[in-house]
Structure 1
Amino acid sequence: MKVIALFIASVFLLLTGAQAQPVAPAKSSPNALQYQFNALKSRASSYREFNQDYKVIQVRRLDAFWQNVQDSLKAREQNIRKAGKATEKALAQARQDLVNQKAELQSLKQANAQKEQQIKQTAHDVNSLSVLGIDMNKQVYVVISWIIILGLLVVAAVFSYLYKKSKVTTDEKIKAFEEVNQEFTVHKQSARERELKIKRDLQTEANRVAELNQEIAVLRKQVSM
């Protein structure tokens, strides 16, 4: 009788643990086991001895109930293993997404660095002129040009033409600089928005990885139990 009492107590603990951790429906669900357990007690004969209540249960019913308990445990273990595999697969995908997003972020940083270098070079070209292979500030160049014009009235027309041509080139470079600068501003704003989005996505994926790690740890702990 004590053996039967210990068995009933073990089954009760099993049912309590199964209800605390939800799993996929199995052949014998926790509710069905609880119903069978209650039916087993209600159909059992009762008697009292030495101020203790006892139940007499038929062996075939006890065997059938024990078989259902074993089936439920096997189904629950299979569901936990399937859930663990699915979680590990999702974790691997999340890690791959993190790697891809980091690579994209690095590519954006390199593109921004190249754009900034182009802007610096364009600004230098706008503010400077190359005279006989020597970089010269445009203001200095204009002053020298005017001195030459005043000093060499004979070739005034030639130098005037050169000056006008230089001015046209300067205006074109200024216009080109403004266009490039505007394009860079738009690109920089777009890149900043994409960088912020990628950072948010990275944080989200990192949170997903942490949650998935926690789920795997819980599932492995349950399987080991």
Structure 2
Amino acid sequence: MKFFKTLLFTALTLFVFNNSNAQNSDDDEKLSLNSGTIDNQFEYVIRRSNSWQDYKTVKKTWLYTLKAHTIDSLNAVRKDLVDTQAVVETQAKEIEDLKANLSNTKTNLDDTIAEKDSMELFGIPMTKPNYSLTLWSIVGILAILLLFFVYKYRNSNAITKQSNKSLAEIEEEFEEHRRNALEREQKVRRQLQDMINEQKKS
């Protein structure tokens, strides 16, 4: 009687496993543990893992590979974040320098306008219209540069926020998958232990 129960259980397990493999074969070809997004790699592990009742048995090597890929992705995001922060800091310094230069240029312009009789710029004598045109051109160029660096700073700030958000989402996703994988593994171990205990009692 026990032999027939074991034989029946084995046959049902093989039938379910083969049926599941046949249905997912097309999808599995598109998924890989070593390429694609982290989500696809998790999907690969879930689909390719063996099923038993409501549980999945996952190979430890797959979990370690998935962990390594997730850590690599997190490190890449962290590196991008550090690089972006460095760019933001550099651009902020450049903006401060440009503001200081612009302030100095405006001060010089005011002083020059006050000295109406002196029409020299860098030791070069010139007419009033040319003098004004040259100074305002410098101010205009500096203003354009300031606006450009303000735009770059804001753009980099947006990238930094997006990188932080992506990093948080990836970390949350990894933690959730890790918890689920541990719970599944613990459930499978308990179930196997229960089966072993039942076999011993039988």
Same fold (TM over 0.5): yes
Quote the Cα distance in structure 2 between the aligned partners of 1:89 and 1:99. Answer: 15
> Across the two proteins, how many residue pairs are aligned to each other?
154
Distance of aligned partners of 1:196 and 1:159 in 2 relative to their CA distance in 1, 3 Å threshold? farther
Q: Residue 75 of structure 2 corresponds to which residue in structure 1?
A: 103
Deviation at 1:68, TM superposition (A): 1.9
Alpha-carbon contact 1:87-1:215 (below 8 Å) kept: no
| Structural mapping, 1:72-111, within 5 Å | 82=50, 86=58, 88-111=60-83
Q: What SS does the corresponding residue of 1:119 show, helix, strand or coil?
A: helix
Post-superposition Cα deviations, 1:157-197, rounded to whole Å, max 9, x if no partner, equal: 44965664343233112112212322332343244234323
Amino acid at match of 1:201: I
Amino acid at match of 2:5: V
Distance of aligned partners of 1:77 and 1:153 in 2 relative to their CA distance in 1, 3 Å threshold? closer
1:69 and 2:41 correspond: no
Q: What SS does the corresponding residue of 1:222 show, helix, strand or coil?
A: helix
Alpha-carbon contact 2:91-2:149 (below 8 Å) kept: yes
1:152 and 2:118 correspond: yes
Deviation at 1:66, TM superposition (A): 2.6
Q: Residue 107 of structure 2 corresponds to which residue in structure 1?
A: 140
| Structural mapping, 1:175-214, within 5 Å | 175-214=144-183
Quote the Cα distance in structure 2 between the aligned partners of 1:96 and 1:210. Answer: 16
Q: What SS does the corresponding residue of 2:176 show, helix, strand or coil?
A: helix
Amino acid at match of 1:102: L
Q: Residue 97 of structure 2 corresponds to which residue in structure 1?
A: 125
Quote the Cα distance in structure 1 between the aligned partners of 2:50 and 2:67. Answer: 20
Post-superposition Cα deviations, 1:68-98, rounded to whole Å, max 9, x if no partner, equal: 234457779998x955652535533542343
Distance of aligned partners of 1:96 and 1:162 in 2 relative to their CA distance in 1, 3 Å threshold? farther
Quote the Cα distance in structure 2 between the aligned partners of 1:219 and 1:196. Answer: 34
Distance of aligned partners of 1:206 and 1:85 in 2 relative to their CA distance in 1, 3 Å threshold? same
Distance of aligned partners of 1:167 and 1:215 in 2 relative to their CA distance in 1, 3 Å threshold? same
Q: Residue 184 of structure 2 corresponds to which residue in structure 1?
A: 215
Distance of aligned partners of 1:129 and 1:159 in 2 relative to their CA distance in 1, 3 Å threshold? farther
Amino acid at match of 2:118: L
Give the root-mean-square deviation of aligned CA atoms.
3.8
Residue segments in structure 2 that go unaligned for 5+ positions in a row? 18-48, 195-202
Residue segments in structure 1 that go unaligned for 5+ positions in a row? 1-64, 131-135
Deviation at 1:205, TM superposition (A): 2.0
Quote the Cα distance in structure 2 between the aligned partners of 1:222 and 1:113. Answer: 49
Amino acid at match of 1:171: G
User: Taking every aligned residue pair, what percent have the same amino acid on both sides?
Assistant: 4
Alpha-carbon contact 1:129-1:138 (below 8 Å) kept: yes
Quote the Cα distance in structure 2 between the aligned partners of 1:176 and 1:156. Answer: 26
Q: TM-score if structure 2 supplies the norm length?
A: 0.56
Amino acid at match of 1:128: A
